[in-house]
Structure formats: C-alpha cells, structure tokens
Amino acid sequence: MQRRTLLIRLCQTIAATATAVLIIPIGRFISAPLFRKNKKSSGAQRVAKLTQLPVGTPTQVAIIGNRQDGWTLHPQAVIGKVWLIRRNEESEKPEDCQVDAYSAICPHLGCGINHSADDLQFVCPCHEAVFDDQGAVAKLDKPGYNNPSPRGMDTLDCQVVASESGNDLWVEVEYERFKIGLKDKVNL
C-alpha cells in the first residue's frame, strides 16, 4: 500500500466517524416525538372539594398537568377543563356522594362548551350544539335547527374520596380526551 492511499483511507475513516458522531444524536433528537409513549389518561386528579360544588349547579374546573408540544414541556399547565355536577346533598360517606364529570370539549368540532344558567343546558358557542344537564344531545323545538353534535358530552370517571386527615371530601377526576366528530366515544 502506498503512503498516499494510506493517508486517503485514514482521512475517510476520520470523516466517517465525525459524521456518525454528529448525525446519530441529531437523528435521535428529531425522531424523539415519534417514539414517545402517549399516555391515555393523566391519572385521577383531585380537582375540587365537595363543599365547593353547589348541588345541581354545573361548575367548571381546570385540569392541571404537564403538557408537551413536540419538544417543549409546559409543566403544571392547564391541559383541559371539565364540568362537575353534584347530584346529591353532602353525605358522611364518600361512596354515597354522587358527582358527574363531563369533558368541556364539544364532541362536534372540539370547541369549549359553556353552561347557560338561564336555559339550564350546555351550549357550544361555535356551532350551537346543545346538551341537557345529563350531557345528552338536546332536542330543541326550533324550526330549522338540527343539533350538529354526533354524541352527548363525554363523561369522565369521577369519584369522591376522603382527605388524608378525613376532614374533607375531594372530587377526583380521571381526565381523558376523545376523538371529535364521531358518533362513538374513542380515546385519543
């Protein structure tokens, strides 16, 4: 082997090694969101004390958690909102308390759902989808009106638990998001 050939091969080896050292970490950084595991649920989260919820009146609460957009992590940000409706008076036992939780995202096109205290119903301001106080699609007697929502408001798992000291009752909600525009409830 000639000296010139040996130097060329040595330079090619050094260049290939330097390229690999740069490309492998860059490739892993770019493809990281593709391989990140999606959690279906944020887990049960305490969102309100039971005493903060008036009986029969919907109350909107924010769900706080870590939100990630691509490579940016937003710690302790609002990841969603839910409507809580306390169905009965306070009880001594947490299992006797009934609270319903509904996602505040309209199943039609994903807008935020508001509550109309005058009409005692939930209303999506984007396309006027209307839901009753049980979260079901409401049938209105307005001429020409056709409720655009394919399904009722998405229900969420909810339970009432006692605090560690046993003095307070808390409402825990397991927040999930669902695909919009479908007749059936499908997790994202």
Average pLDDT value for the chain: 87
Count H helices and E strands in the chain, helices first.
1, 9
Q: In which band, very low, low, confident or very high, does the pLDDT at 187 lie, cut at 50, 70 and 90?
A: confident
Distance between CA atoms of residues 40 and 187, nearest Å? 7
What confidence score (pLDDT) does residue 28 get?
A: 85
C-alpha angle 130-101-165 in degrees, rounded to nearest 5: 155
Q: Is 60 exceeded by the pLDDT of residue 108?
A: yes
Q: Name the CATH superfamily, with its identifier, for domain 38-187.
A: Rieske [2Fe-2S] iron-sulphur domain (2.102.10.10)
List the chain domain ranges: 1-34, 38-187
- And the tokens for 109? 């096109």
Summarize pLDDT for 41-85 with one digit per residue, the tens: 557 889 999 888 898 899 999 999 888 887 788 898 899 999 999
Q: What is the mean pLDDT of residues 145-166?
A: 89
Question: Would you say 102 and 173 are in contact if contact means Cβ atoms under 8 Å apart?
Answer: no
Distance between CA atoms of residues 127 and 179, nearest Å? 17
DSSP letter for each residue of 121-156: EEE-TTT--EE-TTSPBP----TT-----SS-PPEE
Question: Would you say 139 and 147 are in contact if contact means Cβ atoms under 8 Å apart?
Answer: yes
What confidence score (pLDDT) does residue 25 get?
A: 87
Summarize pLDDT for 110-133 with one digit per residue, the tens: 999 999 888 889 999 998 899 998
Q: Is 90 exceeded by the pLDDT of residue 10?
A: yes
Q: What is the mean pLDDT of residues 173-187?
A: 91
Q: In which band, very low, low, confident or very high, does the pLDDT at 19 lie, cut at 50, 70 and 90?
A: very high
Distance between CA atoms of residues 150 and 129, nearest Å? 9
